[in-house]
Amino acid sequence: MAKRQGGIKAYFLPVSGISGDSNVGSKKLESKKAVVDEDDIVPVFDEPKAQSKLRVTGGRVSQRISPNPPKSFLSQNDSGNYEVRKRKRIVEDEDDDLEDHLEKQEQRSSKHESRTRQHPSTEPKQQNGPPPLPDRSAMREKLLGSSQCTEDGNVEETPEQVWTKKNPWTTNVRDAERRREDDPNYDPSTLYIPAAPFEKLTPFQKQFWNIKKDHFDVLLMFKKGKFYEMYDRDADIGASVLNLNYTGGGRVDMRCVGVPEQAFAKHLARLVEAGYKVGRVEQTETTNAAKKRRKSHEPAAKSQICQRALVRIVTKGTVIDTDNLASHQQRYVLAVEELVDEGTNRATVGVCYVDASENAVYVGEFEDDERRTWLETLMVLLRPKEIVINCMRVMSTAFQQITSYQRSQGVALMKTAGTLNTNVEFPSHVKEYLEEHKSAEAAMGVCRKYFQYLRIENEVFSMGNVKIQSVVRGSQLQDMDADKKHLVLDACTLSNLEIFANNHDGSERDTLFSFVDHAVTAGGKRLLRTWLAKPLYSAKAINQRLDAVDALGTLLDNTADHLEIRNLFASFGDVERGLARIHSTAAAEETVVMFDDTNKRKVIDFVKVVKGLKTGLEILDRIAHEWQRMPDCTSQILDSLLDGEESIPNDATEKLDYFFTGAFDFVEAERGEVKPPIGESGDPEYLAALGKLEDVDRELESELEMWREELGERSLRWYHRGKEGYQLEVPKKWFKPGRRIPGEFTPMSDSQTGKRFWTPRIQELYRRRVDASEGLSDQESGLFKKVLSRFDESYNCWSSIAEVVSKLDALMSSATLRKRSGHQLCRPEILENTTDRPVLILKNAYHPLVAEKMDGGTAASFVPNDTKLGGDDPMLVLLTGPNMGGKSTILRQTCIAVLMAQIGCYVPADACTITPVDRIFTRIGAQDRITRGQSTFMVEMEETAMLLNCATRNSLLVLDELGRGTSTFDGYAIAHAVVDEILTRACRTLFSTHYQFLTKEFAKHPEAAVYEMAAKVDEERKDVTFLYKFSPGVAPFSRGIHCARMANIPSTVADAADECARTFEDTVNRRIQSVAEGALLTRIFRACSDPSAELPQELISLSKDLSAL
């Protein structure tokens, strides 16, 4: 029978007679609960069926025992009663872990994860920056609020309660400057520990709190043997977020939870995704090495605990060693600095953003306006997980923009003090750029300072993989190479067109990226995402990419085993990130002690990358072979990738083969073991270490054989349990009357099949085997380190393989899209911008994302439409139509067609002809920005101002119902003025409106055309049928009242609104006519004030039109 008490499972131990200090021989003991630790001397008992119960006081509660203890733990005393013997422990310091307990706990956690637990967890919601710590009072009650009353009425406190009382600084928290948590200047990253209480801590507690006090806002996962443990308030969070049970009974006296080493990555990912920073504290020596150190004669070597160090702080933007993250999504850390012109509030913004999973670093700077529009665009494009700023500098406007984005997207805002000198070994062109661009240099310094704090600055920046970025045409960051021009997408357009994130929940579902993405490798998906963020602008470059798409499509169509080729891509793996992890491992100092499971995982991960590279070479060979069989197909891009400037080095195969045959035994490596290659003599030191281990193994086998003969039992065997291996297991059948075990046997454990013992000789051999095994492990680690270093020397070669495979996969994605079931797509005709009249012609175009939701993902019932802008047609289309009639869909599908064409994709239409667009402006939808103090109309005006200030002849403008955020007259006036200005620039423009007079004003302008979204209206039934057909003409009404009726507005309200609308429309029409007449008469008067002046033809025409009214 068992009870739950304060997070600790307590078992009742039935006894009837006892001996020792607790009422020896008493038959009438009152019930007491018993939970014992292996070091406790516990009372004795005789009959296992007795019903009395005993509580063992003063013992630590950490290891469970059964109601019927195994007899190997018992010995008879002089009274004939049994008593529990004290077991001799092997490891006598604080580093001996309760491995069995935590392993079982981990098994329970994974087997019953969905079951209600003793401590149900509430997953922290996405928060801005590091989330606050949970309510500590509720957490403490689970473990600390469980004082038990003894039989004499005294309250017995748990070790955790004692710890908290002795150390009130753990609950009454102050920072290093002794400021309380409610102080506005409180520093959450530090903790004040009074000197006197600190000196009373145990050596291990001092080790933990020495690290924790300087990283109080970091969850520390402390390595102890093969487990990672969390203590105190960190344990509270671990119990809540990870559904872990507390390890009770005074594990280092503090509250404690733990996870096995092999499960570290899984739990780390959960903590990081919950918004916490997690610090990895690793052992820098083994327990055995610590013992040897303590036996040395140096005074500094007498520390009683294993040496440990904080080796890494993991955050949302820098987690790289887990497979639980979406592999194709880049996780950027963005650092921002700015230099501001105080007179205009314009700024030079420096940025440095890093994807630690690929060790890719980007740096640049750009001129920004007073709203920091391009900083906002960059954040929307990158969607960084963390944004880092220098807290020693003031960035008023940029900081406002950053905090606004942070709050809306749940991004962590990190602050670092000062910068780090950037005088490192960067390529010469990077050094020159940083010397000339101070904002970029400052941003690089801030970023490096932050990565230094995370302990990965050397790993990330040592590769010199730095790309310079700049802003072209006031746009997003892109390569400085002048030949690589791109279509510009600002933050507003990315959001309005739902390119990477939908406007529902911010995910990739139902976005343009999700529609065009048919890549099967993580690298291919990332590259395709980059192409969509930066569409091509050069007609030549676009056509070359389309040629490559067609060529690969033809290759797949004509290849019998094309599915096998796609399967090869699928098995390629994420080699790019694997290479980054290998580099990080090779660059890291070899001070961390990793045990078998983790070492095996690293070796297996390395083997996985090597095999992935071999698959990559096979992919390239297969495609190159098929390409040579297609002489009629031409593609400059494929020629370059397969046998040109972008192809892999000629010696790539030879270099890779070494790691299959010459580096180590590859078959053993696939199992996680590092051994010299078969058939070679190997390293002398490795062979010597292997010889020592083999010698000890032979002695152990001899010892086993000796005891088999001595006891006359051939079934004797070795049993291994945790850190107490090589226990001699004697089967129960041997124990017969008259047989006694040798006096040198020390009981170790028991089971249903037999009893297990150690002898002094076995113990000594086991210790020698542990030493020999560690020596061999050191040699294997050294061999693995050499292999990694040699592999890392050819990083550029391996990277080129991954890059070519990713490009082929991205191109194949577009080739696969060509024949997507249920969709009509065409190759766009891309014309050079050689004339003054850009063109955009779409035949039977449709919105692919809307069509995806109709008729089971086909476009069968979607009403397609033609769009003509520029060329022989007007540059601007004024679009009218009823609410819900499809105006916004026409606007968006036109933009999407342009985007797909300029990334080298087929377009959702029967035909498409365009001259490249340099930038897409969208003024769609209505939203305010309360956090910046901007109303809906102000936001609308700022976006319109950006459009008017930056649009060129080759831009595409899309405006939806401009002017609706203010009064009718102001809105009409603004819309009229904007249309007039756009017409003077001759931009390709779609302008939807409900202002009927606006269409009349510009109906006869040579560069304007008037279209409507057709609808059928039954006035008697007050019903409207949307036809969704884009055709010439003006919609007579907006039909807003009909939409109100469809939304179930009460009929009395809708009827009253209908009558009011008609009256109001008549009044407005009369007033607008009066204004128009006055304006016309004024212009006529001014034109005729000079008798010799000739009356302009425009005024003559306007006069006739007005007379007709």
pLDDT band, residue 319 (cuts 50/70/90): confident
Cα dihedral 985, 987, 993, 998, rounded to 10, equals: 40
What average pLDDT does this structure show over 407-418?
73
**Residue 752: exposure state from Cβ atoms within 10 A (0-12, 13-18, ≥19):** exposed
For residue 360, the one-letter residue type is A
**pLDDT tens digits, one per residue of 199-238:** 999 889 999 999 999 999 999 999 887 889 999 999 999 9
CATH fold, domain 333-484, is Nucleotidyltransferase; domain 5 (3.30.420)
Beta bridge partners, 2, equal 11
- What count of other Cβ atoms lies within 10 Å of the Cβ of residue 1019? 7
Greater confidence (1003 vs 215) lies with: 215
User: Looking at the predicted structure, is the pLDDT value of residue 644 above 70?
Assistant: yes
Alpha helix segments (H runs only) across 144-257: 159-166, 195-199, 203-212, 232-242
Q: In whole angstroms, give the CA distance from residue 326 to residue 329.
A: 6
User: Looking at the predicted structure, is the pLDDT value of residue 18 above 70?
Assistant: no
User: Looking at the predicted structure, is the pLDDT value of residue 901 above 90?
Assistant: yes
User: Looking at the predicted structure, is the pLDDT value of residue 82 above 50?
Assistant: no
pLDDT band, residue 680 (cuts 50/70/90): low
User: Looking at the predicted structure, is the pLDDT value of residue 295 above 80?
Assistant: no
For residue 72 the two structure tokens come to 């190997």
pLDDT band, residue 746 (cuts 50/70/90): very high
pLDDT band, residue 932 (cuts 50/70/90): low
**pLDDT tens digits, one per residue of 511-560:** 999 999 999 999 999 999 999 998 999 999 999 999 999 999 998 888 87
Greater confidence (946 vs 796) lies with: 796
Greater confidence (455 vs 394) lies with: 455
Of the ranges 85-99, 783-797, 810-824, which one carries the lowest mean pLDDT score? 85-99
Q: In whole angstroms, give the CA distance from residue 380 to residue 332.
A: 12
**Residue 960: exposure state from Cβ atoms within 10 A (0-12, 13-18, ≥19):** buried
Greater confidence (682 vs 1006) lies with: 1006
User: Looking at the predicted structure, is the pLDDT value of residue 39 above 60?
Assistant: no
Per DSSP bridges, beta strands 412-416 and 386-390 are parallel
**pLDDT tens digits, one per residue of 127-180:** 344 445 444 444 445 444 445 555 555 556 677 777 878 889 998 999 999 999
Q: What is the pLDDT of residue 868?
A: 94
User: Looking at the predicted structure, is the pLDDT value of residue 17 above 50?
Assistant: no
Cα three-residue angle 1068-1072-1076, rounded to 5 degrees: 170
Question: In the chain, what percentage of residues exceed pLDDT 90?
Answer: 32
Alpha helix segments (H runs only) across 330-427: 373-382, 396-409
Q: What is the pLDDT of residue 828?
A: 97
Greater confidence (1065 vs 701) lies with: 701
CATH fold, domain 135-147+154-314, is MutS, DNA mismatch repair protein, domain I (3.40.1170)
Question: In the chain, what percentage of residues exceed pLDDT 70?
Answer: 71
Q: What is the pLDDT of residue 1026?
A: 73
Cα dihedral 661, 662, 667, 671, rounded to 10, equals: -140
pLDDT band, residue 433 (cuts 50/70/90): confident
Looking up tokens 């999407």 gives: 896
CB 908 within 8 A of CB 897: yes
Greater confidence (462 vs 69) lies with: 462
Q: In whole angstroms, give the CA distance from residue 928 to residue 344.
A: 25
User: Looking at the predicted structure, is the pLDDT value of residue 1062 above 80?
Assistant: no
User: Looking at the predicted structure, is the pLDDT value of residue 84 above 60?
Assistant: no
- What count of other Cβ atoms lies within 10 Å of the Cβ of residue 961? 23
Beta bridge partners, 24, equal none
What average pLDDT does this structure show over 840-849?
93
CB 904 within 8 A of CB 548: yes
Per DSSP bridges, beta strands 466-471 and 488-489 are unpaired
Task: Give me the chain's average pLDDT, please.
Answer: 77
User: Looking at the predicted structure, is the pLDDT value of residue 5 above 80?
Assistant: no
**pLDDT tens digits, one per residue of 557-599:** 888 777 888 899 999 989 988 888 888 777 665 555 555 556 7
pLDDT band, residue 651 (cuts 50/70/90): very high
Q: In whole angstroms, give the CA distance from residue 515 to residue 508.
A: 10
**pLDDT tens digits, one per residue of 448-477:** 999 999 988 888 887 667 877 754 333 334
Q: Domain coordinates of the chain in residue numbers?
A: 135-147+154-314, 333-484, 548-680+804-818, 829-1049, 1054-1109
Cα 36 from chain centroid (whole Å) = 44
Q: To which CATH superfamily is domain 829-1049 assigned? A: P-loop containing nucleotide triphosphate hydrolases (3.40.50.300)
CB 356 within 8 A of CB 457: no
Greater confidence (1082 vs 671) lies with: 671
What average pLDDT does this structure show over 645-653?
90
869 CB-near residues (< 8 Å, 6+ apart): 839, 840, 841, 875, 876, 877, 988, 989, 990
Looking up tokens 């692919």 gives: 848
What average pLDDT does this structure show over 1034-1061?
70
What average pLDDT does this structure show over 312-324?
78
SS3 92: coil
Local structure of residue 1022 (DSSP, 8 states): T
Q: What is the pLDDT of residue 1014?
A: 78
Q: What is the pLDDT of residue 839?
A: 95
Q: In whole angstroms, give the CA distance from residue 500 to residue 512.
A: 7
Greater confidence (555 vs 104) lies with: 555
